[in-house]
Amino acid sequence: MIQALNYMKGLDELPIVIAHHPSRSATGMGVWGQDTPQEFRNWNDTAPNIAIGMEGAPGHQATSINKDGSNDPNGARGSYGNVNAPTMGGFDQMTAKVGGLWDSMLGEGRHWWITATSDSHVNWRDGGGDFWPGEYSKTYVKSVKDYENIMENLRNGHVFVTTGDLISELDVKVQAGGKSPLHAVAKGNSASIGETLTLSGKKKDVTVTIRLKDPKAANANGDKPNVKRVDIIMGEVNGKVEDKTTAENITSKVVERFTEKDWKQDGEYITITYTLKDVDKDSYIRLRGTNTDQLEPVADPRGEDPWTDLWFYSNPIFIKSSK
């Protein structure tokens, strides 16, 4: 793989490499199989503009749906066949566990992004375990409709992912306290998904503004799921780890949870505003939301209906302190 990445670096047009269903071969929680934390770090160190991340939500999410639409009680979401290492809310454990591998990578300041795919080999209507591309999982990239621009914005992490059309738009802005919003923008003290906010002082309040669309239109299953909760997750950025097998960031935590009583709703749009007080360390925030009552995504049981357990995740916004 390192040889391949070094070759790719010499190409006129740089490709993108994303680790596919990274924990499908794991045998337990944090007991890795073919894909390991040290492998990902070596890839990203070798070619940071090519090896840019991993699949957050794997494909093969229709394994519990029979050809006639009935339930298959033995279906394992994502084809994560080991009962000790299933998906969690339809997402890979490397992404779903707060303070886990993804947070460990972000805690190094790595631009390590997540995506979601269908991995569509054989559709469930034809007896397979797959949805059509976009039927269940979607990766949203903030770009114009141009191949090169899409690639560059994937590379820059301007991405959020969702399952079951739980949301269809997500804008997140972080802004440091200043004389005025215009002043803050002029000083570069504003950032959105995939970007870095630079603080002008040693300790600043940071305002997070979230705007998302919870569509009223039915998804591919005919459902109209509603967002029940949105979480802000935050962790410190403390530089590269000495041990490349590291798969945890003990500073990462859910700093705030929001429900319907905490946000403003205007038709399909939800707006949330929150202030992070006295931010004085290099850090990052990322968002997730769900239609469930689960405070944390739990291990997915065999035969689970994927349409009942929906989540969305944003990629991170980094915050750079002036300390």
What average pLDDT does this structure show over 270-297? 97
* 222 backbone dihedrals φ, ψ, rounded to 5°: 85, 5
Tell me the whole-structure pTM to 2 decimals.
0.96
Q: What is the DSSP letter of 298?
A: P
The pLDDT of residue 234: 98
What would the mean pLDDT of 180-196 be, rounded to a whole number? 73
Kindly tell me if the per-residue pLDDT of 276 is higher than 90: yes
Contacts of 77 (CB under 8 A, 6+ apart): 60, 61, 63, 64, 86, 87, 90, 300, 304, 306
Average pLDDT, the chain: 95
* 32-46, 114-128, 183-197, 239-253, range with the lowest pLDDT: 183-197
Considering only residues 183 and 259, tell me which one the structure prediction assigns the higher pLDDT: 259
> Which long-range contacts link 128-134 to residues 24+ away (Cβ below 8 Å)?
128/62, 129/60, 129/62, 129/63, 129/65, 129/75, 129/79, 130/59, 130/60, 130/61, 130/62, 131/59, 131/61, 131/62, 131/220
* SS3 assignment, position 170: strand
Determine the residue type at 187.
K
* CA–CA distances in Å: residue 184 to residues 189, 200, 207, 233, 299: 5, 10, 11, 23, 42
Q: What's the mean pLDDT in 142-166?
A: 97
Mean per-residue pLDDT for 118-137?
A: 97
CA distance 259 to 264: 10
pLDDT: is 189 or 188 the higher one?
Answer: 189
CA angle (107 as vertex; 263, 227 as ends), nearest 5? 25
3-state secondary structure of 197: strand
- Amino acid 37: pLDDT: 98
Position 188 confidence tier, pLDDT thresholds 50, 70, 90: low
Q: How confident is the model at residue 179 (pLDDT cuts 50, 70, 90)?
A: low
Residue 323's pLDDT band, with cuts at 50, 70 and 90, is: low
Counting Cβ atoms within 10 Å, is residue 172 exposed (0-12), middle (13-18) or buried (19+)? buried
Per-residue pLDDT at 175: 95
Longest dimension (CA), the chain: 61
Contact 56, 314 (CB under 8 A): no
pLDDT at 316: 98
Q: What are phi and psi of 319, to 5 degrees?
A: -125, 120
The answer, yes or no, to whether residue 182 has pLDDT greater than 70, is no
What's the distance, CA 70 to chain centroid?
30
Go through 14-23 and write b for each residue having 16 or more CB atoms within 10 A of its CB, e for each that does not. eebbbbebbb
Which among 237, 21, 7, 239 is positioned nearest to 117, based on CA atoms? 21
pLDDT of residue 200: 82
Residue 186 has pLDDT above 70, yes or no: no
Taking only the tens place, the pLDDT of each residue in 196-231 is: 999 987 788 999 999 999 999 999 999 999 999 999
Q: What is the pLDDT of residue 127?
A: 97
What is the rounded average pLDDT of the residues 253-258? 98
- Residue 89: which of 254, 226, 291 has the closest Cα? 291
Position of tokens 């738009």?
169
Average pLDDT rounded to a whole number, residues 82-88: 98
Instruction: Express as a percent the part of the chain with pLDDT over 70.
Output: 96
